[in-house]
């Protein structure tokens, strides 16, 4: 029987396998941990960095409008190459390795190409290989539909492959190796005094992922939370520990706020007036959803006339052209449209908020002290977000980081 | 029911899909023939030219000694990319296309990695797709073992995929598109007056493939002969017909010799004396076979002593180092080893030889007239080969081409 505690899924991202030299380093590290710590590793790899973008360019050069089975098959080839090369590097070190693609492992997904969701993984084959002393090297990012077509899980999807695999194997831990040493309390490029976090809860990590922090794939954290799998996000270039993402129960105490995150490419759109009532809102946001435009913060308020309302919402900068087209079809000349470019969203996140009132007051105090206008606001149980002018982002981010005791 | 006569397998080689522009051209041509001629095409593609070599380099840089499942998985990714891109190009032209890999079609092979042989193809899925008006685009060169591992068929293996698929579909014809317009009576770079052949028999084509002519994969012709599938080898850059490879019965009459072929990288090894008898020969050639060295022509003759013999044989230039190592383990100091580098093999091929005596006499007359030494000779039913010094190759090739009435 397998010693479940020794079984560990290790995922290596694109930069970790970006060159042959790095692939050799990964192989050396896997073999060493296997021998020294007695680990039974199951490896998940992404495509070599740059490869997925190269493949996307090829597809877009042919037909930027095409998405479907051929697109996913194309992109999945990137992980196939990385899996094969890492398996060769392991074999070279005298370790038996089994390169495995989604169809060979049985990583079943739905048939939503380019953003498929994993439905199930058949762990039998993996367990059998591990029992035989073989190191399975599994392609991340890819899955397979019921009728054997290749799907992909969306950007960062290899994280999700790794965590789902850990869950299917009955594991309790998953290592995610990347090119940053840990999850930070804020983006160090923006906030000078940002520090590494030792621990963070699943909930906080999900909020961070949803506001644009690219450390972990959102869905991977969701699955980790559901199956209570600790994620250890760490550097493939350093030995030391990184950040543990885990359930709140495992943490002795939580800071009120654990991180300040931001999204620098936001556009605010103000419409005044538009018809009152939910029908107009359903129509507008329905049409935007059809174009795959993710509307973020929405605020709605009354107008001078009872049959009219004001509507403000934010969208990613890249979706502005498409959004303006949709607005053109929905609005008449009565509505004044104000497009505010060069905006950014800033958020504070922390599970401690649930038990500490007054976070909102401290949040807005910072804006007031720095004379920064707030254009949109939204809150959840563990997050407060505000949209501000991009040129004031750095100042307010550093001030919030100090206010909530996060500075190094 | 499908109209079997309209069903046609079209294989496009690496140069035919070497750039996005060429992939667009292939798609345009497939769609045009489908509409104008009512064809029901089934497409087979190779990796984009250069891609397989790039992948081989990656594997060799990691570990030149490794061959096995990971190597074949790596190489198979090249065809996957080409299949996906051609499918996108077809969809762009309003034609439904189904990108298919070996495991999706059920191209079953043995488990001899890097030179697997196709055992069976399940044509059901392909036929079903064609009936639905879809153009199947199948990855060449790759197969799958009984336990779902990816195999590859060796250099040029996509030809074999195409012909085997045509056989499985009950077809009678297979188009092989390449970067040369036809099969030639000799390599035009060597023989100035070489001409295109309209027709050639399976047997002749197999002999040509076995003496180093790279037009078609040997195994593809073998399968074509077995299932009587006409191969139409033609250019993907021109419209006109190329060369038909077909059974002898389909041809009204055959020239005595249809082609002069050559292999420019041959080494002759002369051993004198070695122990007489078959035991020594079995040992030596067994050890060479273990190292995957293909010994070509072998001649053996008596020596001054009854317990000794002379042995001459030829090998590909690239295997010389390995061969010398083997000789070192087998021979003692009594044997004199002569290594003749810079040799070339020249052959004349033709099914007509079977009914025309005197071909050998005409063959050797040419060597005598040009004062060219012959170092080794071998013959078959439809072929005579001789090994000569490389610097005399061109002269004798052109003279043989003239002697056997092949000049343009």
Q: Which carries the bigger pLDDT value, residue B81 or residue A115?
A: B81
The total number of residues shown for chain B amounts to 408
Asked if B101 and B80 count as a contact pair (C-beta separation under 8 A), the reply is: yes
From the candidates B85, B128, B144, which should be mutated to test the interface with A, based on the most A CB atoms within 10 A? B85
What's the pLDDT at B211?
64
Q: What is the CA radius of gyration of chain A?
A: 23
Tell me the backbone φ, ψ of residue A43, rounded to 5 degrees.
Answer: -100, 140
Closest residue in A to B22 (Cα) is A62
What's the pLDDT at A264?
86
Q: Which carries the bigger pLDDT value, residue A388 or residue A5?
A: A388
The mean pLDDT of B43-57, rounded to a whole number, is 97
Tell me the backbone φ, ψ of residue A77, rounded to 5 degrees.
Answer: -65, -25
CATH 3.10.129.10 fits A4-179, yes or no: no
Average pLDDT of chain B, as a whole number: 93
Look at domain B7-179 and name its CATH class.
Answer: alpha beta
Peptide bond into A273 cis (omega under 30): yes
pLDDT in tens, A117-157: 999 999 999 999 999 999 999 999 999 999 999 999 998 89
Q: Alpha-carbon distance A381 to A383, whole Å? A: 6
Q: Alpha-carbon distance A341 to A321, whole Å? A: 12
CATH 3.30.540.10 fits A260-403, yes or no: no
What's the pLDDT at B5?
86
Nearest to A88 among B23, B71, B104 (CB): B71
Instruction: Spell out which residues of chain B touch residue A77, defining contact as CB-CB under 8 Å.
Output: 77, 80-81, 84
pLDDT in tens, A312-328: 999 999 899 999 999 99
Going from N- to C-terminal start, the domains of chain B cover: 7-179, 260-403
CB contact under 8 A, B71 and A91: no
The mean pLDDT of B142-154, rounded to a whole number, is 96
Find all residues with CB under 8 Å of A77, minimum gap 6, and list them.
A55, B77, B80, B81, B84
pTM of the model: 0.88
Instruction: Spell out which residues of chain B touch residue A63, defining contact as CB-CB under 8 Å.
Output: 88-89, 91-92
Instruction: Spell out which residues of chain B touch residue A150, defining contact as CB-CB under 8 Å.
Output: 101
Nearest to B70 among A62, A91, A103 (CB): A91
CB contact under 8 A, B99 and A70: yes
CB contact under 8 A, A149 and B55: no
Find all residues with CB under 8 Å of B217, minimum gap 6, and list them.
B153, B154, B155, B156, B157, B158, B159, B160, B209
Work out the minimum CA distance from A97 to partner chain B, whole angstroms: 9
Q: What is the CA radius of gyration of chain B?
A: 23
CB contact under 8 A, B58 and A89: no
Assign B213 a pLDDT band (cuts: 50, 70, 90): low
Hey, what are A401's tokens?
A: 């980081």
The mean pLDDT of B107-136, rounded to a whole number, is 96
Q: Alpha-carbon distance A178 to B319, whole Å? A: 44
**Percent of chain B at pLDDT exceeding 90:** 80
Position A210 pLDDT exceeds 80:
no
CB contact under 8 A, B80 and A77: yes
Q: Alpha-carbon distance A174 to A156, whole Å? A: 15
What's the pLDDT at B161?
98
Interface of B with A (CB under 8 A): 20, 23-24, 55, 58-59, 61-63, 66, 68-71, 73-74, 76-77, 80-81, 83-85, 87-89, 91-92, 97-99, 101, 103-104, 148-150
What's the pLDDT at A212?
59
Instruction: Spell out which residues of chain B touch residue A20, defining contact as CB-CB under 8 Å.
Output: 58, 61-62
CB contact under 8 A, A85 and B58: yes
Position B210 pLDDT exceeds 80:
no
B260-403 matches B7-179 in CATH topology: no
Instruction: Spell out which residues of chain B touch residue A114, defining contact as CB-CB under 8 Å.
Output: none
What's the pLDDT at B302?
83
Nearest to B73 among A61, A83, A89 (CB): A83
CA distances from A154 to A46, A112, A113 (A): 12, 10, 9
Strand B118-121 to B135-139 pairing: unpaired
Position A1 pLDDT exceeds 80:
no
Of B184, B208, B205, B211, which is closest to residue B297 (Cα–Cα)?
B211
CB contact under 8 A, A81 and B80: no
Position B175 pLDDT exceeds 70:
yes
Nearest to B84 among A23, A70, A148 (CB): A70
CB contact under 8 A, A66 and B55: no
**Stretch among A138-147, A203-212, B17-26, B94-103 having the lowest mean pLDDT:** A203-212
From the candidates B20, B51, B70, which should be mutated to test the interface with A, based on the most A CB atoms within 10 A? B70
pLDDT in tens, B327-377: 999 998 899 999 999 999 999 999 988 888 889 999 999 999 999 999 999
The mean pLDDT of B312-330, rounded to a whole number, is 92
Number of cross-chain residue pairs from A and B with Cβ atoms under 8 Å apart: 113
pLDDT in tens, A385-404: 999 999 999 999 999 999 99
Instruction: Spell out which residues of chain B touch residue A100, defining contact as CB-CB under 8 Å.
Output: none
Nearest to B148 among A66, A89, A104 (CB): A104
Q: What's the burial of B203, exposed, middle or buried (CB within 10 Å: 0-12/13-18/19+)?
A: buried
CB contact under 8 A, A58 and B85: yes
Nearest to A63 among B59, B62, B92 (CB): B92
């Amino acid at each position: 029987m397998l010693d479940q505690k020794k079984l560990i899924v290790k995922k290596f991202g694109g930069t970790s396998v970006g060159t042959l030299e790095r692939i050799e380093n990964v192989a050396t590290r896997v073999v060493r941990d296997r021998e020294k710590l007695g680990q039974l590793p199951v490896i998940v790899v992404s495509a070599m960095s740059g490869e997925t973008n190269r493949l996307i360019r090829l597809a877009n050069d042919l037909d930027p409008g095409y998405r479907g089975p051929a697109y996913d098959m194309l992109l999945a080839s990137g992980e196939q190459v990385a899996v094969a090369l890492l398996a060769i590097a392991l074999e070279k070190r005298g370790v038996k390795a089994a390169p495995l693609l989604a169809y060979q492992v049985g990583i079943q997904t739905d048939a939503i190409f380019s953003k498929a969701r994993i439905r199930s993984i058949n762990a039998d084959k993996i367990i059998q290989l591990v029992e035989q002393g073989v190191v399975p090297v599994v392609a991340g990012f890819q899955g397979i539909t019921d009728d054997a077509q290749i799907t992909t899980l969306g950007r960062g999807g290899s994280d999700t492959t790794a965590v789902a695999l850990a869950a299917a194997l009955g594991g309790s831990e998953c290592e995610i190796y990347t090119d940053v040493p840990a999850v930070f309390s804020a983006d160090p490029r923006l906030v000078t005094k940002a520090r590494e976090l030792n621990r963070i809860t699943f909930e906080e990590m999900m909020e961070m992922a949803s506001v644009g922090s690219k450390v972990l794939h959102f869905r991977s954290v969701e699955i980790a939370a559901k199956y209570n799998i600790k994620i250890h996000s760490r550097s493939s270039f350093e030995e030391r520990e990184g950040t543990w993402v885990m359930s709140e129960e495992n943490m002795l105490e939580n800071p009120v706020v654990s991180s300040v995150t931001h999204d620098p490419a936001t556009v605010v759109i103000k419409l005044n007036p538009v018809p009152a009532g939910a029908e107009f809102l359903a129509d507008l946001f329905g049409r935007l959803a059809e174009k795959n435009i993710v509307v973020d913060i929405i605020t709605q308020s009354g107008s001078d006339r009872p049959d009219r309302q004001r509507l403000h919402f934010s969208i990613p900068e890249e979706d502005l052209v498409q959004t303006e087209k949709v607005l053109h079809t929905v609005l008449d000349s009565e509505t004044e449209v104000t497009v505010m470019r060069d905006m950014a969203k800033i958020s504070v996140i922390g599970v401690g908020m649930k038990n500490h009132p007054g976070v909102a007051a401290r949040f807005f105090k910072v804006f007031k002290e720095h004379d920064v206008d707030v254009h949109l606001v939204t809150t959840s149980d563990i997050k407060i977000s505000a949209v501000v002018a991009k040129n004031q982002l750095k100042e307010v981010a550093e001030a919030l980081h100090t206010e909530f005791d996060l500075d190094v």
